[in-house]
Amino acid sequence: MGVSGVFLATNEVISSSGIAKPGMRAKLSRMSFAPLPDNLPLQKSRLLRRFEDLISPKTDAEFEALARESRMLTLQNFGRTMRLFAPLYVSNECVNSCRYCGFSRDNPILRVTLSLDQVIAEGRYLASEGFRQVLLVAGEHPKFVSRTYLADCVHALASDFSSISIEVGPMEAAEYAPIVEAGAEGLVVYQETYNREIYAEMHTSGPKRDFNWRLDCAERGYDAGFRRLGIGALFGLAAWEQEAVALAAHVEYLLKRCWQAQITVSLPRLRPAAGEFQPAFSMTDRELAQLICAFRISFPQVGIVLSTRERAALRDVLTSLGVTMMSAGSHTEPGGYTGQGASDLHRTVRGRIVAPAFQNGEGTLATGQFEISDERSAAEVATVLRRRGFEPVWKDWDPALLAT
Ligand code: SF4
């Protein structure tokens, strides 16, 4: 099916209320976003054409008008609230070679997979800091990070957190089922780049080389029962404008195909990491701000996530523009919050596990995925948010309320 066919078919099965009619959901579940990025230069919906205009160069006055509209729509749809969450890295083992990532299998970094008790200790620390929303993150390594391991982690953390999401290697829908049953409600998977050629250059070995497998992951997660879906692109791998339009097309598609899920979008820019990859494409602070406005104006009800990759001063400004969800006080190394796993470290050299043999200047914790930029604690971030008129939300719903 060509791109227009997919859009037409998708629109036909959605009622005017935006709710899929009974009997039509099967048609939706047979669709796939995979053919769309290749045809985007030729076929764009009206919404995408407007989005493209919103991210085109603007004068200062035009940019101010965009910012005002974005701020107003954010207030209308989300109020003056900001959801706070923390990533909890459980493993930095990985079978993939991604040129931009510190966890890439070729990097001889210090690695560990936390035991269940160690994951619980990290979770308890985050809960004591106030967090009730956590994102479990791991490299892709089926031996160390199996679906059973992930389900056990989710189950063990369920009493401390009202919302648990995972960001791990893509799986089949059936493989996600036990993780959803254990209590996970969110699935995060970034395409990294929507440009197939650059994707092939960046992912030199491992299962992640399969572009379409990753692209359809959010849909498989939805079919497995995840009701929060997070997608994103890693800005710096390709021209930001092209990535942005493809990401917007993906959001537009998922809003229809996965109509019961809450969709969030992330716009991370590359940060320094082991392997010292240098981004080929830049994106200025102003371009990032404009992109946030474009997403808010085009998709008023979609959550926009901002990570600690960005520096504190910029994060404070971007919170007023359209961001609805922030990480805070983050560590990107497994065990980073409480020092868990320090006695179980090893290195992986060409796929072989060897002793850690600490080098000069190295700490005794596992290596992080990338350097964070905003190093403020969660409490400091919350204080700044309040000072700027926002209510930090550590927990946005309670399962007990839904059960009554
Ligand atoms: S980006 Fe993900 S899959 Fe690639 S090396 Fe890093 S952790 Fe592994």
- Give the number of the atom of ligand 1 that is nearest the alpha carbon of residue 192: 1
| pLDDT tens-digit series, residues 226-279 | 999 999 999 999 999 999 999 999 999 999 999 999 999 999 999 877 778 889
What is the Cβ-side half-sphere exposure of residue 250, based on CA atoms within 13 angstroms? Answer: 31
Ligand 1 atom 7 nearest Cα? 139
Paired strand residues for 392: 82
82 phi and psi, to 5 degrees?
-140, 115
- Band the pLDDT of 150: cuts 50, 70, 90: very high
SS3 of 315-381: HHHHCCCCCCEEECCCCCCCCCCCCCCHHHCEEEECCEEECCCCCCCCCCCCCCCCCCCCCCCHHHH
**What is the mean predicted confidence (pLDDT) over 117-121?**
98
269 phi and psi, to 5 degrees?
-100, 145
240 phi and psi, to 5 degrees?
-65, -35
CA distance 367 to 347: 10
Confidence (pLDDT) at 13: 33
Q: Give CA 169 to chain center in angstroms.
A: 12
| pLDDT tens-digit series, residues 3-51 | 333 322 333 333 333 344 555 556 656 678 887 778 777 788 999 999 9
Whether the Cβ atoms of residue 98 and residue 104 lie closer than 8 Å to each other: yes
Confidence (pLDDT) at 2: 33
The number of helix segments (H) and strand segments (E) in the chain equals 16, 14
Q: Does 184 sit in the ligand 1 pocket, CB within 6 Å?
A: no
Q: Does 107 sit in the ligand 1 pocket, CB within 6 Å?
A: no
For a ligand 1 pocket test, name from 89, 92, 96, 205 the mutation site with the most ligand atoms within 8 angstroms of its C-beta.
96
Q: Does 274 sit in the ligand 1 pocket, CB within 6 Å?
A: no
For a ligand 1 pocket test, name from 95, 103, 144 the mutation site with the most ligand atoms within 8 angstroms of its C-beta.
103
Ligand 1 atom 2 nearest Cα? 139
Q: Does 145 sit in the ligand 1 pocket, CB within 6 Å?
A: no
- Band the pLDDT of 361: cuts 50, 70, 90: low
Residues 6+ apart with CB under 8 A from 287: 55, 240
- Give the number of the atom of ligand 1 that is nearest the alpha carbon of residue 94: 8
Confidence (pLDDT) at 4: 33
96: CA distance to ligand 1 center in Å? 6
- Band the pLDDT of 349: cuts 50, 70, 90: confident
Confidence (pLDDT) at 352: 76
Ligand 1 atom 1 nearest Cα? 101
- Band the pLDDT of 132: cuts 50, 70, 90: very high
342 vs 290, more confident: 290
- Give the number of the atom of ligand 1 that is nearest the alpha carbon of residue 169: 3
Per-chain mean pLDDT for the chain: 89
Confidence (pLDDT) at 9: 33
The one-character DSSP state at 192 is B
- Give the number of the atom of ligand 1 that is nearest the alpha carbon of residue 101: 6
Tell me the whole-structure pTM to 2 decimals.
0.90
Strands of the sheet with 110-111, listed across from one edge: 110-111, 346-349, 352-354
For a ligand 1 pocket test, name from 92, 101, 189 the mutation site with the most ligand atoms within 8 angstroms of its C-beta.
101
Confidence (pLDDT) at 353: 80
